């Protein structure tokens, strides 16, 4: 799965999952543009790649604006001569319930996740089409965007929107031989670290210890190192036939998410009036109600989180 000669941009790659993606791409031979809002963090990420014999440079700027997107592409081209791979990973969280969410809470998350993905992909697509040699675009989604999650209106909207854009871009960029896919990671992150259910898994990951099998197999939950290989694979020539897909990965599990499909189709001569809706459609809909949110099995006793301090 060699990426020798390829150049990649990974947004939000100073630490966490983004850093793992960048490091794996570099191990496979790609030169990498690191991106973070903190200069010291970005420099450490570059150094970690160079220490293993890889090539990297950094752009210190917040993702969202067209200016940052142009800066990222220019860094790839000016430093390494081309652009082949883009991974849009940058993100922020502003979690709170709907009635407490401010305009700023909503706009900040949408700007980084959704607009940032759009602006970066647009600039990368322009460059890749100019090169005329195809390319790989990988946008990072979330289970929250697939199923919803309490307290994450802004994040759910952004992540669902990303998958919608990925499907559209796969159509638009097919003739240019540019594949576009979404990866749905289920892994120890700053967000999952705050969820009591994942306490034992996150604690083990932080200590560098193996995660309990329950999380890896039953939940499909793992560390950054479980997600990064999929990023490298989708960036490789071997994945040339895969585009427009949402692929989940975590722990020992990989999932291909289906595109939304109707589960029932009803017809009524002359259209659906109030009486027909109440008599026919309502009962049919109630029989086909779809679930919302993630449903997890009960934790084994030995993996229960510690009780809150009194």
* Residues assigned a catalytic role: 155
The Cα 209–Cα 49 span in angstroms is 23
Q: Give Cβ neighbours of residue 51 (< 8 Å, ≥ 6 apart).
A: none
Are the beta carbons of 66 and 123 closer than 8 angstroms? yes
The Cα 282–Cα 267 span in angstroms is 13
Sheet holding 135-140, edge to edge: 56-60, 31-36, 7-10, 85-88, 135-140, 178-185, 246-250, 253-257
CA distances from 130 to 68, 118, 178 (A): 20, 18, 12
Report the half-sphere exposure of 57 (CA within 13 A, side-chain side): 15
Q: Give Cβ neighbours of residue 15 (< 8 Å, ≥ 6 apart).
A: 36, 41, 45
Q: Give Cβ neighbours of residue 74 (< 8 Å, ≥ 6 apart).
A: none
User: Residue 255: enclosing H or E segment and its boundaries?
Assistant: strand 253-257
């Amino acid at each position: 799965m060699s990426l020798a000669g390829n150049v990649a941009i990974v947004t939000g790659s100073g630490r966490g999952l983004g850093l793992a993606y960048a490091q794996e791409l570099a191990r496979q031979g790609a030169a990498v543009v690191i991106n973070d809002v903190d200069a010291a963090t970005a420099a450490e990420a570059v150094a970690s790649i160079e220490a293993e014999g890889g090539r990297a440079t950094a752009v210190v700027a917040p993702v969202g604006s067209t200016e940052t997107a142009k800066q990222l592409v220019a860094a790839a081209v000016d430093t390494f001569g081309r652009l082949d791979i883009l991974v849009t990973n940058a993100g922020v969280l502003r979690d709170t319930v709907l009635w407490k969410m401010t305009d700023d809470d909503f706009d900040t998350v949408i700007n980084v996740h959704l607009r940032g993905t759009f602006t970066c992909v647009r600039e990368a697509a322009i460059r890749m089409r100019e090169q005329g040699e195809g390319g790989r675009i990988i946008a990072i989604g979330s289970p929250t965007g697939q199923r919803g999650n309490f307290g994450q209106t802004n994040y759910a909207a952004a992540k669902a929107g990303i998958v919608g854009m990925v499907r559209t871009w796969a159509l638009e960029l097919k003739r240019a031989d540019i594949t576009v896919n979404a990866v749905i990671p289920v892994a120890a992150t700053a967000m999952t670290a705050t969820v009591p259910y994942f306490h034992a898994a996150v604690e083990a990951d932080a200590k560098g210890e193996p995660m309990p099998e329950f999380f890896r197999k039953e939940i499909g939950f793992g560390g950054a190192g479980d997600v990064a290989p999929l990023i490298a694979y989708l960036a490789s020539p071997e994945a040339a036939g895969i585009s427009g897909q949402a692929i989940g990965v975590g722990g020992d599990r990989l999932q291909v998410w289906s595109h939304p499909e109707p589960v029932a189709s009803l017809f009524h001569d002359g259209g659906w009036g109030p009486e027909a809706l109440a008599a026919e459609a309502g009962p049919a809909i109630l029989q086909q109600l779809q679930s919302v949110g993630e449903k997890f099995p009960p934790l084994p006793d030995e993996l229960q989180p510690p009780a809150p301090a009194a």
